[in-house]
């Protein structure tokens, strides 16, 4: 089998928030690069990347799409020193994803099963619905709505914009917890907005208020491994991080520094499925669970396959772009038997929102 053609385009999807209906910035859009890799045997793989990348892909035409490591080495070499990291990773991941899609289709196996599927249902948590830009009333209402819709896990954010105080941060968490009751797993994302000592101070106050967080995420600058480790040692709340890390090596540094309890891996920044799996294996060797960042359509396969997979972030950014997204039942994703990623682009969405082709 040979790769015969590469087609990419850009769609600008509306930044709506389908989970609870309260978008932080409803008139915004999210540009997504779509990729289709065709083979001489008629098998087509799809991939996406976002956060800013595009790749000609011309370099891989003629290669065997099953040789993902050989292709990765070729791309790395061709890119000179434009990597590792940055746009090179973002672009490479789209391609790697499409190659795994092809592999699954060629073997007629869904990806989660091809990867040794540890389970066929994975827990998932609602994300993106309880953002820090929403007013307190709206975030409380949205949290209650998520619970009504059956989500048993959900994520909110602290490090509020504008004038904020530790007491205000704690109050917001208390109100959200009150709205959803004691049985819902509640995560909280700081998105690197605190300093280490703020994270310890406010994190401790949230603990003392009895909010009971499932995890506290990206508590400070993501590559301050020593600083994150300090927060981790000081708080009883589990610390989660890793989504901003490019490639596999910085994960090693983060894990060796004992920075986090839960390793969050972003498929796009890590450089695709090939690299995602390596980080998950390394985390397993350190006795740490892994969770995913964005794009549940693909991450559901990976978290389901990993023995140390914990939960999938259910972020609705790209839901409208695909047919074949894993079904949601009782706050779990149910993996299907469709081969590969099991996804196809919705042509009408691609046509409607295309900003480049």
Q: Are β-strands 153-157 and 185-189 bridged in parallel, bridged antiparallel, or unpaired?
A: parallel
356 is a site residue for another protein (CB under 8 A): no
285 is a site residue for another protein (CB under 8 A): no
Between 64 and 224, CB nearer to another protein: 224
317 is a site residue for another protein (CB under 8 A): no
Q: Return the residues of window 236-255 that contact another protein according to CB under 8 A.
A: 244, 246, 249-250, 253
51 is a site residue for another protein (CB under 8 A): yes
61 is a site residue for another protein (CB under 8 A): no
- Count residues near another protein (CB under 8 A): 30
Among 69, 77, 135, 137, binds another protein (CB under 8 A): 77
Least CB distance to another protein at residue 125 (A): 21
Distance CA 95, CA 182 (A): 43
Coil vs helix vs strand at 132: coil
292 is a site residue for another protein (CB under 8 A): no
Least CB distance to another protein at residue 346 (A): 24
Least CB distance to another protein at residue 246 (A): 6
Transcribe 236-258 into DSSP letters.
SS-EEE-TT--SSHHHHHHHHTT
Phi and psi at residue 354, to the nearest 5°:
-65, 135
Measured CA to CA in angstroms, residue 211 lies from 143, 185, 193 at distances of 14, 10, 20
Least CB distance to another protein at residue 211 (A): 29
Phi and psi at residue 310, to the nearest 5°:
-105, -60
Among 10, 12, 87, 234, binds another protein (CB under 8 A): 87
Task: Compute how many other C-beta atoms are within 10 angstroms of the C-beta atom of residue 79.
Answer: 17
Q: Are β-strands 327-329 and 354-356 bridged in parallel, bridged antiparallel, or unpaired?
A: unpaired
Contact 15, 26 (CB under 8 A): yes
Between 73 and 78, CB nearer to another protein: 78
**Binding residues for another protein (CB under 8 A):** 51-54, 59, 77-90, 223-226, 244, 246, 249-250, 253, 256, 269
């Amino acid at each position: 089998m040979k790769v015969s053609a590469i087609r990419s385009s850009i769609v600008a999807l509306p930044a709506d928030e389908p989970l609870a209906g309260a978008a932080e910035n409803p008139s915004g859009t999210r540009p997504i690069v779509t990729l289709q890799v065709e083979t001489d045997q008629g098998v087509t793989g799809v991939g996406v990347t976002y956060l800013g990348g595009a790749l000609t892909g011309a370099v891989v035409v003629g290669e065997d799409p099953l040789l993902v490591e050989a292709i990765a080495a070729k791309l790395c070499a061709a890119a000179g020193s434009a990597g590792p990291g940055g746009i090179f990773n973002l672009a490479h991941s789209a391609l790697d994803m499409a190659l795994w899609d092809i592999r699954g289709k060629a073997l007629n196996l869904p990806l989660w099963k091809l990867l040794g599927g540890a389970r066929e249902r994975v827990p998932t948590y609602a994300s993106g619905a309880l953002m820090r830009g929403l007013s307190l009333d709206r975030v409380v209402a949205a949290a209650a709505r998520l619970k009504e819709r059956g989500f048993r896990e959900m994520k909110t954010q602290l490090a509020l914009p504008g004038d904020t105080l530790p007491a205000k941060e704690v109050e917001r968490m208390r109100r959200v917890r009150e709205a959803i009751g004691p049985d819902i797993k509640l995560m909280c994302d700081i998105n690197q907005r605190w300093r280490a000592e703020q994270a310890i101070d406010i994190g401790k106050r949230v603990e003392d208020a009895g909010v009971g967080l499932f995890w506290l995420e990206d508590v400070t600058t993501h590559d301050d491994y020593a600083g994150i480790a300090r927060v981790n040692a000081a708080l009883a709340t589990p610390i989660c991080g890793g989504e901003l890390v490019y490639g596999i090596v910085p994960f090693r540094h983060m894990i060796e520094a004992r920075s986090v309890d839960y390793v969050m891996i972003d498929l796009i920044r890590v450089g695709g499925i090939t690299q995602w799996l390596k980080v998950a294996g390394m985390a397993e060797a350190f006795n740490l669970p892994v969770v995913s960042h964005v794009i549940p359509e693909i991450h559901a396969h990976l978290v389901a396959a990993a023995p140390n997979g914990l939960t999938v972030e259910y972020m609705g950014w790209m839901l409208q772009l695909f047919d074949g997204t894993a079904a949601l039942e009782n706050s779990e994703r149910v993996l299907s038997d469709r081969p590969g990623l099991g996804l196809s682009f919705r042509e009408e969405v691609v046509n409607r929102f295309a900003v480049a082709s």
